[in-house]
């Protein structure tokens, strides 16, 4: 186990805070891209809207996956230091399930992409996103 002493601890915490901030920015970007894909779906014809929605949502998924790199590093350091609250593990579980279903949606053709399944996926992703924002605000000192 790594032990940080003196200024190294401050440097590590600064790096982790910056990684959390980058990750939050990427997740907000992914959320905005998902909203844009829903707007495209609603405003275009059925065929063109679904194709555009799928392409845009794929970019949002890619952005969300990119943010995972930053989150994993931060969570790993919290776990190693023994300061990870249990909510991080719950958030990680929901996030892993959400990403797995998202991957299935991205690679799968339209066979089982029904509104019901998409809404379940959206609810799971919003739950994970909200949990992540709450964790970020707690660690940033904005929430008690």
Q: Answer for the pair 34, 128: CB distance below 8 angstroms, yes or no.
A: no
CA atoms in the 13 A half-sphere facing the CB of 30: 23
C-alpha span between 76 and 92 (Å, rounded):
11
CA distances from 84 to 97, 110, 139, 141 (A): 20, 39, 11, 15
Considering the chain, what is the average pLDDT of its residues?
77
Higher pLDDT, 128 or 41: 128
Higher pLDDT, 103 or 106: 103
1 in a structural domain = no
Question: By residue range, what is the domain housing residue 70?
Answer: 7-139
65 in a structural domain = yes
2 in a structural domain = no
144 in a structural domain = no
Q: Is the pLDDT of residue 8 over 60?
A: no
The total number of structural domains in the chain stands at 1
Q: State pTM to two decimals.
A: 0.69
99 in a structural domain = yes
93 in a structural domain = yes
| Mean pLDDT value of segment 96-102 | 86
């Amino acid at each position: 186990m790594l032990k940080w002493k003196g200024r190294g601890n401050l440097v590590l915490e600064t790096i982790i805070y910056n990684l959390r901030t980058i990750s939050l920015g990427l997740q907000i970007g992914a959320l905005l891209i998902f909203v844009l894909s829903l707007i495209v779906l609603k405003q275009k014809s059925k065929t063109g809207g679904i194709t555009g929605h799928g392409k845009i949502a794929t970019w949002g998924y890619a952005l969300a996956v990119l943010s995972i790199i930053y989150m994993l590093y931060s969570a790993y350091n919290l776990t190693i230091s023994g300061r990870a609250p249990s909510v991080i593990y719950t958030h990680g579980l929901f996030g892993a399930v959400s990403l797995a279903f998202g991957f299935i949606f991205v690679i799968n053709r339209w066979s089982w992409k029904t509104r019901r399944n998409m809404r379940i996926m959206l609810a799971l992703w919003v739950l994970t996103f909200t949990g992540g924002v709450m964790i970020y605000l707690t660690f940033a000192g904005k929430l008690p």
